[in-house]
Structure 1
Amino acid sequence: MGLDVVYIAEFNEAMQTLTPQAFVDQYLVGLKVVAVVAGEDYTYGPKQLANMTNLPQFAHGRFAIYQVAHLDENASRKISSTTIRQDLDQGKVEDANRLLGYIYRTYGPVVHGFARGRTLGYPTLNVQTSMDQRLPQEGVYAVKVKIDGKLYNGMASVGHNDTFGDDLALTVEVNVFDFAQDVYGQEVTIYWYSQTRGMIKFNGIDELQNQLDTDRQEIKAYFARLDEKMS
């Protein structure tokens, strides 16, 4: 982006309770800001009462103020990072993708797991995701996975594998269709297309395996419809 310095301020209780004037003096003037650019819904200070409209009364002409254009809407929903995060948290990745204008993605290295999927006939890539990436709601998803620059269809599970026990760590496991290579340690990218179902705790392995069969059929049908629509 051509930025020389990025200053990241921790949004804590002290910052949250700063008066609008103190916020401007401490952070904007204190950092010798020349210009402030923000969206029309940007707020600061207690109870979020200060905004871009009344910023000039606290700036006292010490820096320029630029407000970005009116926020776009999609199907009467405001296009904002908050809305997109809410969609992801609710598993509505298709809605999030529409607002983003592209397919939401996460990435990470393939690490060793418990190999349970292999015993079920559904070997998976266990993808380690860093804490700064937002995963969608727990559940099963239609995904594409980029491996060595090539895209493969697949189904991904985000969850704690409750069928196999309690208090297990959250994992991201991807069964990649028509793929059988060893890619441990390699970084892959997951493109999240659609949630097929939420996470279920099954009564046994047979019940889980039957559901995986259904999931795969549904996701393959989903991508077939998508390919037909794109052609």
Structure 2
Amino acid sequence: MQVIEGLPDKAEPSVLALGNFDGVHQGHRRLLAGGLAEARRQGIPLAVLVFYPHPWRVLFPERELKLLTTQQERLRIFAEVGVGIVYLLPFTRQLAEMTPEQFVRDIVLSLNTRHIMVGFNYSFGSKGMGTPADLSLFGERYGFKVSVLQAQAVKGKVISSSAIRRALSAGDISLAREMLGRCPCLCGKVVSGEQRGRQLGFPTANLLVPPGLMWPKRGVYAVRTVFTGRTVYGMMNIGMKPTFHAQYSPTVEVHFIDFEGDLYGKELSVSILERLRDERKFADISELKEQLAQDARRARRWADGEKGASR
């Protein structure tokens, strides 16, 4: 997969998918699948145009926006599904002030676009005035086709990045997983912590999550990761350590079951399987250790269930 920063001097003909693609969820994947089918029919690659930073961070800097995926993870998924070219275009105030037609003339046409794929709620141009219907009219004027994917839903709920953020905020991992088409995950570098998990008999890897990423609701989760080619299961705590601190910045700690090894400095992507319980304050260390043992047993059952399903 080619990753091209900015607009190229000369672009090869392509089918172009437009959108933010945060999370690359099931709706995005269906859009990309339609684009791939059209690209194969025409014998040209599927390209994706992605703005960075996310337009909302430029237009509404006062609003906190937590993203579902890092740029690196998004590119990895694009490659996995068969995207041939990704154009990474810096989003600026100047770009935001383009009229819808300027956007088409200056950006879409410069990418040698033969066919465009967009979702039903795609907007473009100044103040998001351009709609998929407008894009179709411009296509008739400038010589490209447009396909619009209608709303996709699971359990009667429209799939969207915002809906997935709401599910994660509520701790609804099942719904988030269905909308994503895979487990939600947290990624980051393993850093040193208070070493308290080791003292409790449950050593943890403390994950430094990149700023601006979405965290699920505080609590304990069953998780898995892949480290040096091996799938490892465990439990993850997202919280503020209320048993030990009156006030503490939220942290992400992962205890891996049946695993020994030095993870410091390693980059991990931790897939979240299910929520086990809420965060809580314990009366004493023995009560906490007893609960951790119960959490570990439940996490192990998740691991055994997944291993059994894969046989």
TM-score normalised over the length of structure 2: 0.62
Kept after mapping to 2: 8 A contact 1:141/1:156: yes
Q: Please list the CA deviations of residues 166-211 of structure 1 after superposition, one character each: whole Å capped at 9, or x if unmatched.
A: 3312211111111122221122221111110121122322222221
Kept after mapping to 2: 8 A contact 1:107/1:129: yes
> Is residue 2:256 matched to residue 1:176?
yes
Q: Distance in 1 between matches of 2:128 and 2:144?
A: 21
Kept after mapping to 1: 8 A contact 2:151/2:159: yes
Kept after mapping to 2: 8 A contact 1:144/1:152: yes
Q: Please list the CA deviations of residues 96-140 of structure 1 after superposition, one character each: whole Å capped at 9, or x if unmatched.
A: 222222222332221100011111111101111112432222110
Q: Distance in 2 between matches of 1:166 and 1:87?
A: 28
Kept after mapping to 1: 8 A contact 2:190/2:206: yes
Question: Structure 1 pair 206/125, CA: closer, same or farther in 2 (3 Å)?
Answer: same
Tell me the SS of whatever aligns to 2:274: strand
- Number of the residue aligned with 1:33: 108
> Is residue 2:300 matched to residue 1:225?
no
Sequence identity of aligned pairs in percent? 28
Q: Distance in 2 between matches of 1:147 and 1:138?
A: 25
Alignment of 1:38-187 (within 5 A): 38-43=118-123, 51-55=131-135, 61=141, 64=144, 66-187=146-267
- Give the C-alpha shift of residue 3 in structure 1: 4.3
Kept after mapping to 1: 8 A contact 2:139/2:146: no
- Give the C-alpha shift of residue 144 in structure 1: 0.8
Q: Distance in 1 between matches of 2:60 and 2:249?
A: 30
- Number of the residue aligned with 1:24: 100
Kept after mapping to 1: 8 A contact 2:118/2:149: no
> Is residue 2:57 matched to residue 1:8?
no
- Give the C-alpha shift of residue 39 in structure 1: 0.7
Kept after mapping to 2: 8 A contact 1:21/1:58: no
Counterpart of 1:118 in structure 2: which amino acid? R
- Superposition RMSD in Å: 3.2
Tell me the SS of whatever aligns to 2:308: helix
Gap runs ≥5 in structure 1: none
Question: Structure 1 pair 118/31, CA: closer, same or farther in 2 (3 Å)?
Answer: same
Counterpart of 2:52 in structure 1: which amino acid? I
Q: Which moved more, 1:201-210 or 1:120-129?
A: 201-210
Q: Distance in 2 between matches of 1:13 and 1:45?
A: 16
Counterpart of 2:263 in structure 1: which amino acid? V
Counterpart of 1:130 in structure 2: which amino acid? P
Counterpart of 2:306 in structure 1: which amino acid? L
Q: Distance in 2 between matches of 1:125 and 1:187?
A: 11
Kept after mapping to 2: 8 A contact 1:87/1:93: yes
Counterpart of 2:220 in structure 1: which amino acid? V
Please identify which structure carries the higher helix content: 2
Counterpart of 2:2 in structure 1: which amino acid? G
Q: Distance in 1 between matches of 2:165 and 2:290?
A: 32
